[in-house]
Copies of this chain bind each other. A is one copy, B any other.
């Protein structure tokens, strides 16, 4: 029997981390031949090149695609999407996969979905149907409308995907692979690693510490620097040792980076260490131990719901997402942020929530990918 060729697309370091279990299941499935394309910020040193990390984990990239336009601006993001389509087209045309698997809502992901659709390759999409802020909100649903098989991470999202006209037979809610990975991970992060990487003062992870993950909001493009300054100010005032991850590559990233660099230069903050990337296991090992996650990352909404980590979620980036009680929403003001952090720290860890968790999600997805009847011509499913 001919194996089904399944091409997994990885375009950011975090994206790899969250897909690891899935990749392992894909690799070992007897009727699947796994292809991997790595591109976007996943192969940029400045964001944490994951090709060597992957090699250590036993995965090889079939193709590496440099596609990110410089500038951290809307136009850079736009052209990257165009370049991505051209490049994925050639890659898919040469690899000839039966299914292309994409996840999330980033522009490189849209590129892959567009390329596969036009090449009459079935597209499987993980994490569709969620609601959020930024341009991701538009793009996520556009990807849904280009995809043939949908793996939502929760019931509400599944219902939204169906509502958008997708065939219910191809819409599944097996839970979140991110959360599954977080649930299974038992790695204990070492202080040495943390303090070997990045810049800033050393952090003692045996004492209370915070994590910040703050990404640009593409639809508030003129405000990112100011908002980042507010957050830096708040973290400085709170005074608890903090591990701060540099922003992802979305439009506005340079504004946030500049805010950080200028802050470091002029305020010389003690007790803040800035990291670019941690391999998945180490990141989760670190996350489990932190007193509070602050920022606007979906990790606060998803992984932390299961781990019970208190989260201060700032601004609109995650607005609309299904949230557990561990999340305290905050506006962009310095005082409001400080108040929320203090409240969360005084509360301490939350009870484990299962809103995004189901066991065996990666296995179930891979079974569907291996066995689902494939089709090309989509048809709006009128109810």
Residues of A within 8 A of B (CB): 44-46, 63-71, 73-79, 81-87, 89-91, 93-94, 107, 110-111, 114-115, 117-120, 131, 133-135, 137-139, 141-146, 160, 163-165, 199, 218-221, 249, 251, 254, 258, 261, 265, 316, 319-320, 376-380, 382
Which of chain B's residues has its CB closest to A148's CB? B138
- Looking at A66, A110, A143, which has the most chain B CB atoms within 10 Å of its CB? A66
Task: Find out whether the CB atom of A78 lies under 8 angstroms from the CB atom of B85.
Answer: yes
Task: Find out whether the CB atom of B89 lies under 8 angstroms from the CB atom of A120.
Answer: no
Task: Specify which chain B residues have a CB less than 8 angstroms from the CB of A74 in the assembled complex.
Answer: 118-120
Task: Find out whether the CB atom of B81 lies under 8 angstroms from the CB atom of A114.
Answer: yes
Does more than half of chain A's interface fall in helix, strand or loop, or is it mixed?
helix
Residue among B84, B120, B131, B380 making CB contact with A379, cutoff 8 Å: B131
Among all A-B residue pairs, the 7 with the closest Cβ atoms: A82-B85, A82-B86, A141-B145, A78-B118, A70-B70, A78-B89, A142-B142
Work out how many copies of this chain go into the complex.
4
- Looking at A45, A85, A265, which has the most chain B CB atoms within 10 Å of its CB? A85
Task: Specify which chain B residues have a CB less than 8 angstroms from the CB of A218 in the assembled complex.
Answer: 118, 120
Given contacts A44-B70, A254-B45, contact A137 B85 (CB under 8 A): no
Residue among B85, B134, B163 making CB contact with A85, cutoff 8 Å: B85
Task: Find out whether the CB atom of B117 lies under 8 angstroms from the CB atom of A90.
Answer: no
Residue among B71, B316, B380 making CB contact with A377, cutoff 8 Å: B316
Task: Specify which chain B residues have a CB less than 8 angstroms from the CB of A115 in the assembled complex.
Answer: 78, 82
Task: Specify which chain B residues have a CB less than 8 angstroms from the CB of A199 in the assembled complex.
Answer: 261, 265
Cα–Cα distance between A46 and B319 once the two chains are bound (Å):
31
A276 to chain B, nearest CB (A): 11
Cα–Cα distance between A380 and B85 once the two chains are bound (Å):
26
A374 to chain B, nearest CB (A): 13
